[in-house]
Structure 1
Amino acid sequence: MKTKPLILNKKKFEFTSTHLLLIVFAIVFVVFTVMIPDKFFTGKNFMTIAKYSSVFGLIGIGMTFIIIGGEIDLSVAYIVGLSSMVMGTMLQTIDNVVLVAAAGILVGLVCGIFNGFVITKLRLPAFVVTIGTGQMFNGFAQLINNRPQIQFSNDLFREFSKINVFGVIPLPFIILLAVAVLTWFVLKYTVFGRCVYAVGSNKPASRLAGINAAKTNAFTFAISGFLCGIASFMVTSQNGSGIAAAASGAEMDAISAAVLGGASLAGGKGSIIGTLVGVFLLRIISNGMNLMNIETYWQMVLQGSLLIAAVIMDSVKNNKDD
């Protein structure tokens, strides 16, 4: 009796944008550690990175929902700015920090709902709509006091961003991790999460499967707006003032982080963990280059190059799958 040879099914290794991200992350971390160990590789600096990553991390998580659903949002920075100006204005006359924070988060949520309504109900392209609504939000932000910035003197509101849990971990970072865990669970284990992936992968097919694609996309914009509101509360506390341009460029950072983390601009792909790694990579690059006194322009060149590389790899993979 002959025995059949044991055949092992070997999966062909496929290099993805996620692998590129992890490699680049490791290289960047090692380079800065070797070149400026006394400035970069310190607990204080890591906590600084964690603190300032929290704002863009929240915006990036919201953007991840939208991109997975097959849409895009170029108004997120202006949502943060409008919310920041509303909170700054309220703090001039109201001492209730909880009420002010709630109002700022509500502004973000309303803006997100408005984006979702216009895009889904009127069936307009998100790219164009969010450029328009972004300009609207920016205009409203500066019309509030006829200026782009407003100071306030509420010390309790300012102190929020300085709170450290156990004396070392910034509270904003703890909030980011809590939101990340919750949204990761929603995307991975809930019906809504599966609907988001299905709609982004193939909207017509998702409709045939009984999924309300318009409602699903509208919810992703609402989630993004809500997280922008929380991010605005954090950045307003950090700045100690309401600023219309508080999150200038956040839309590009959020999109870059999501795409670097494996999200596809074609929709249907992406993860919260990948986006967070992308956020921290971009923040580490910015932090390290600042410590080395490298001009901001070179940071923009490097971040743009990484984004293009990730998009190219995603495009090549999608073409292979087709």
Structure 2
Amino acid sequence: MKMKEEKKGQEGSFGKFFQQSGTTISLVIVYIIICIIFTFLSEYFLTVKNFLNIGTYASITGVMAAGVTVAMLLGHIDMSQYATLTIATMTVALMLQKGMPAGLTILAAAAVGVLCGTINGGLIAVFKIPGIIVTMGTMQVFRGIAYLTTNGNTVMIHDSSFGFIGKGYVFGTIPFCIVLMAAVFLIIAYILKYTNFGRKIFAVGGNEQVSYLSGIRTGTVKFLGMVISGVCAAAAGLITCSQVGAAIPSTGTGSEMEVLSAVILGGVSLSGGKGKISGTVIGVLILATIQNGMTLLSLQSFYQMIINGSVLILAVLLDVIKSGALKRE
């Protein structure tokens, strides 16, 4: 009898471990399978240079996804990230045109991220408006401001030192934008796992009412979470305009769902309170690798749209299955 209880306890422990890490393990397996498939389909896929290209391509989406992860853990969706990114790029480009130092423009971009996040967070925390509604509105407002700033014209960037952010290399081999993306992910991971604020994010996202009754200032937590999302969008803007060498008002138009797809695919629940930043990392890599593989195979953009849309549907479907919503019907 005692042996049976011990065995049952061991099985329970294993089940608990698998439940906690199963999503990440599954995603890693999926990623390996995708890499194997593209290795057979293209001779250029399995090379160090190509994987660095994947990392470079993923850096913009990855930095934004880190911020969206925080917002979604709170139960909100930030649709305004690309618009925030665009305002940040416009700010940087216009300041560089006036001869201001690159360091100052980076601080200005961060300030733009804080401002946009403050607007989103304030509307969500004070007026209790759902995040998706708020950010769909501010997405249009921020995008309009970006167009008005330059009358819809592209602003070129000629500062060579600023170009290091998106096109520079560390130790002559690793793109700096990959290092920056990794740093952002590590910072967010530390906040979520080791700080009191991180624990409050999960608590508020899991059950806001209970969190409020337990003494957590839920409005403040949601406000700061949206500010983090805004700052991440601005950081992604620095990489974007540095890589392109210009600030374009239409940057990211129609690509808003790409970031959300990566986060949802990574296992972050749409309802909030559940998910890991490690899952987001793998979700970003999966989407970037699929995009890279399709490009190597020279697939038409129409097919790429179909595949990207299918991945989004699959990601949401997985979230529904994991939440147990189908069982409750």
TM above 0.5, one fold?
Answer: yes
Q: Is the 8 A contact 2:75 2:205 kept in 1?
A: yes
SS in structure 2 of the partner of residue 157 of structure 1: coil
Q: Is the 8 A contact 2:23 2:279 kept in 1?
A: no
Deviations 1:137-157 (A, max 9, x none): 001001111124211322222
Evaluate the alpha carbon distance shift between residue 304 and residue 17 of structure 1 in structure 2; reply closer, same or farther with a 3 A threshold.
Answer: farther
- Pairwise mapping of residues 59-208 of structure 1 onto structure 2 (< 5 A)? 59-208=64-213
- Output the amino acid matched with 2:40: V
What CA distance in whole angstroms lies between the structure 1 residues aligned with 2:255 and 2:193?
A: 26
User: What TM-score does the superposition give when structure 2 sets the normalisation length?
Assistant: 0.91
Q: Is the 8 A contact 1:149 1:243 kept in 2?
A: yes
- Output the amino acid matched with 1:191: N
Task: Mark the runs of 5 or more structure 1 residues left unpaired by the alignment.
Answer: none
- Pairwise mapping of residues 25-44 of structure 1 onto structure 2 (< 5 A)? 25-37=31-43, 39-44=44-49
What CA distance in whole angstroms lies between the structure 1 residues aligned with 2:254 and 2:220?
A: 28
- Output the amino acid matched with 2:64: I
Deviations 1:118-143 (A, max 9, x none): 11111112111111111010010011
- Pairwise mapping of residues 138-287 of structure 1 onto structure 2 (< 5 A)? 138-287=143-292
Higher helix share: 2
Deviations 1:195-247 (A, max 9, x none): 00011111111111111111101111000111111110111100000112333
Q: CA deviation at 1:78?
A: 0.5
- Output the amino acid matched with 1:140: I
170-179 or 6-15, larger mean C-alpha shift: 6-15
What CA distance in whole angstroms lies between the structure 2 residues aligned with 1:303 and 1:8?
A: 44
- Output the amino acid matched with 2:70: F
SS in structure 2 of the partner of residue 111 of structure 1: helix
Q: Is the 8 A contact 1:18 1:261 kept in 2?
A: yes
Q: Is the 8 A contact 1:256 1:307 kept in 2?
A: yes
SS in structure 2 of the partner of residue 229 of structure 1: helix
Q: CA deviation at 1:249?
A: 4.2
Q: Is the 8 A contact 2:165 2:238 kept in 1?
A: no
Task: Mark the runs of 5 or more structure 2 residues left unpaired by the alignment.
Answer: none
Count, aligned residues: 319
Evaluate the alpha carbon distance shift between residue 279 and residue 230 of structure 1 in structure 2; reply closer, same or farther with a 3 A threshold.
Answer: same
Determine if the alignment matches structure 1 residue 292 to structure 2 residue 297. Answer: yes
Q: Is the 8 A contact 2:87 2:142 kept in 1?
A: yes
Q: CA deviation at 1:16?
A: 5.7
- Output the amino acid matched with 1:174: V
- Output the amino acid matched with 2:27: L
281-290 or 155-164, larger mean C-alpha shift: 155-164
What CA distance in whole angstroms lies between the structure 1 residues aligned with 2:258 and 2:22?
A: 20
User: What TM-score does the superposition give when structure 1 sets the normalisation length?
Assistant: 0.93
What CA distance in whole angstroms lies between the structure 1 residues aligned with 2:270 and 2:212?
A: 20
194-203 or 301-310, larger mean C-alpha shift: 301-310
Q: CA deviation at 1:35?
A: 1.3
Structure 1 residue corresponding to 2:62, chosen from 57, 71, 78: 57
- Output the amino acid matched with 1:277: I
Evaluate the alpha carbon distance shift between residue 162 and residue 303 of structure 1 in structure 2; reply closer, same or farther with a 3 A threshold.
Answer: same
Evaluate the alpha carbon distance shift between residue 209 and residue 95 of structure 1 in structure 2; reply closer, same or farther with a 3 A threshold.
Answer: same
Determine if the alignment matches structure 1 residue 21 to structure 2 residue 27. Answer: yes
What CA distance in whole angstroms lies between the structure 2 residues aligned with 1:192 and 1:285?
A: 35
- Output the amino acid matched with 2:39: T
Q: Is the 8 A contact 1:73 1:251 kept in 2?
A: no
Q: CA deviation at 1:87?
A: 1.1
User: What is the root-mean-square deviation of aligned Cα atoms in Å?
Assistant: 2.0
Deviations 1:270-306 (A, max 9, x none): 1111101100110111011011101222223223223
2:7 counterpart residue number: 8
Q: CA deviation at 1:42?
A: 1.4
Q: Is the 8 A contact 2:93 2:246 kept in 1?
A: yes
Percent identity over the alignment?
36
Q: Is the 8 A contact 1:71 1:126 kept in 2?
A: yes
Q: CA deviation at 1:19?
A: 4.8
